[in-house]
Chain A
Amino acid sequence: MNMLFPQIVAGLSNGSILLLAALGLSLTFGQMGVINNAHGEFMMAGAYTAYVMSTLIGNKGVALAVALVVGFVVSGLLGLLLDVALLERMRSRPLDTLLVTFGVSLVLQQLARDIFGATPVYAAAPEALTNPVTVFGYSFSAGRLFIFILSIVCVAALYAVLKLTPLGRQIRATSENRDLAEVSGISTRTVDHVTFFLGSGIAGIAGVALSLLNSISFNFGTTFIVQAFLVVVAGGVGQLKGAVIASFVLGLCQSAIELPTSASIGQVAVFLIVVVFLQFRPQGLVAIRSRNLA
């Protein structure tokens, strides 16, 4: 029997998970230079939203749809709060945001444990998403297919917002030249808050979606965060295109390497690939050309 086809599908599926986890990070890191270590915990907030909705709403399909919206808002608001309360005063020292948000992630994890308990819970998924779908005689997880489609939808929506709306223009203007944007009448402060809200909200959507595959506990986000960071670094800052390519390449690499070896070697290999890759492209896959030396 030929494992090539199912493995490629597995790789694409892994890639879409990475993409969903990294998309919001890519936005906040790329546009604002904030390295949000609490991104994983925003995903956790999304996952717990999915759990709460699945207990409140009888129809699992409706519950999932509501959770996607509520998860976006909950995580987005958490992000907004973080930005207003802490990150705003730290715009001049982006590296320090990494440590502040690490502290936030510790607090959020403990908070989740105190609210929902240490025992993992799970959000009952719609029956259709837990069963296999059969394509060309191969069975695949319908849940993973859903995540794949969702990740594409999120990228497309984000792309549309950035390229086609006035808000998107303001976000891009702010990230390219903050001072010029400011003198052109854009409130960069507001734009930053909105950007952070969006990026964090996408983490919430990712959390809801990934709760289909996992149980939900306080350390839900830690599973994804390190790899999501790698995607952002490998993809190049501030470029959706880079994040998309990097996610799928890394997802496929991991599946390809894992097949003849083992899961742990697969994980280590992905880390090493990124380190070696940065040797050739230190600014990532899709670098912004700039004369700015500092």
Chain B
Amino acid sequence: MKKLTTMSPAEFAATYKAWIGTVIAVLLILLAPSVMSVYNLGLLSKYLCYAMVAVGIGLAWGQGGMLTLGQGLFFGLGAYVMAIHMKLSDIGPGQVPDFMAQYGITEVPGFWELFRNPVIAVIGVAAVPGAIAALLGLAVFGRGVRGAYFAILSQALVAAFSVLLIGQSKTTGGTNGLNDFKGFFGYDLTDDANKQMIFYICAFLTLAMVLIVWWIRRSFMGDLIIGVRDQENRMKFLGYNPASIKVFAFSLAAMFAGIGGAMFVPVVGIISPSDIGVTPSILMLAGVVIGGRTTLLGPVVGTLLVRFAETQLSEAYPSAWTYIEGLIFILIIAFVPMGLGQFKGLWPWVKEKIGLGGAAAAGAAAGAAEAVAGAGPAAKTTSPTTAKAVNA
């Protein structure tokens, strides 16, 4: 690696692409509240919750080839853990939530009591989905269940989970779900300053997840995951255990979904089975499909785009939106299977056409003034996510 001082701006941008991207993302996140209303910030926070799920799907499906139609299960587990904690801290010790009182229950059930402790709750939102995914993964991947079989099983599980939630309405709130929360770890949810903080948490969590996936992709583990996706048997012959590699990626994706679900609760103020059923779970894939399943930022960008479009279009044209959703899956998967990521190859071509490449090359020989101009476009390639995040 060259010394910093001898690097051209273009080289600098290329070498420290991720760092530059991160710094810009952090700045944009910090700036967002000053340019957006509290209402829009709330919507953006909600989109980010789905984006977290999408980052995980990108890892499990795009990298690992595990098409999971059941992320709603993990999203729901994280959300319900968080909701249970928030409900308990609202009502205080010795009381039961109002819906339980309606059913005549006088004592809070045991699995609720577990999450009264805030530390356990915070760990639980990632650990519970992660552990369940690991168990499930060990069971099915160990036995060589994959591809369509895995997809169908994951779908069946999320269906079973939502039936169970509805069936056990005395302890889960049933179709109503859990709602009417007052505080988030003691902070008043109606206060704008707190809403802003919750946005920061969502945004930085998303950023952290993107960075984690970035490391994995660059690391040897990333190669293993892709290896298992493309040539599972060859990996086996090389002495690796494909099941444990898959379990690793799948559990991580489940944790991301759980954390996304957990943040969904303070942001939206409700979690119910209708947020996590079969169809919502597949729709969590929509953004990944659009953005490009194998790209790093695609899932996030795609999810923010599609959720933003949903808010905008579904109000004005409710039935048209369903067609659009359907067409997203049909047209993109059939004709542009890598989504927006497919157009990535066009970038150098565009750069050449509009002369930016020349500017960057010239920058190598030129002084500091041109360095800024050269770094500009290069940095942009790394952080369309955050730019869109703020615009949304």
Contacts and interface: CB of A to CB of B under 8 A. Distances in A.
Nearest to A82: B330
A2 interface: no
Interface string B142-165: 011101110111011101100110
Interface in B137-192: 139-140, 143-145, 147-149, 151-153, 155-157, 159-160, 163-164, 166-167
Interface stretch (A11-19, A101-109, A161-169): A101-109
A56 interface: no
B159 A271 contact: yes
Given A86-B334, A278-B140, A99 B160 contact: no
B145 A103 contact: no
Interface of B is mostly: helix
Nearest to B236: A293
A98 B278 CA distance: 13
Nearest to B331: A103
B67 interface: yes
Interface in A232-276: 232-233, 262, 264-265, 267-268, 271-272, 274-275
A271 B323 contact: no
A289 interface: no
B211 interface: no
Interface stretch (A71-79, A87-95, A128-136, A201-209): A87-95
A229 B160 CA distance: 14
A90 B139 contact: no
B160 A271 contact: yes
A223 to B, nearest CB: 11
Find the residue from A98, A232, A294 having the highest chain B CB count within 10 A: A98
Contact of B337 (A93, A113, A274): A93
Contact of B148 (A29, A271, A278): A29
Find the residue from A29, A33, A89, A226 having the highest chain B CB count within 10 A: A226
A229 B327 contact: no
Contact of B322 (A109, A262, A293): A109
B152 A96 contact: no
Contacts of A279: 139, 143
A294 B233 contact: yes
Interface of A is mostly: helix
Interface in B285-324: 285, 289, 319, 322-323
A95 B329 contact: no
A100 B334 contact: yes
A114 interface: yes
B128 interface: no
Which range contains the number of B residues in contact with the other chain?
Answer: 35 or more
Find the residue from B69, B140, B152 having the highest chain A CB count within 10 A: B152
Nearest to B318: A110
A262 B319 contact: no
A103 B337 CA distance: 14
A6 interface: no
Nearest to A98: B151
A90 B334 contact: yes
Given A107-B326, A113-B319, A282-B145, A267 B156 contact: no
Contacts of A293: 233
A107 B331 CA distance: 12
Contacts of A282: 140, 143-145, 149
Contacts of B337: 93, 96
Given A95-B148, A100-B329, A278-B149, 8 more contacts: A33-B148, A95-B67, A106-B326, A229-B155, A264-B163, A275-B156, A282-B144, A294-B233
6 contacts: A33-B148, A102-B329, A264-B166, A274-B156, A278-B143, A282-B145
Which are the 5 A-B pairs with shortest beta-carbon distances?
A103-B329, A264-B167, A106-B326, A107-B326, A271-B160
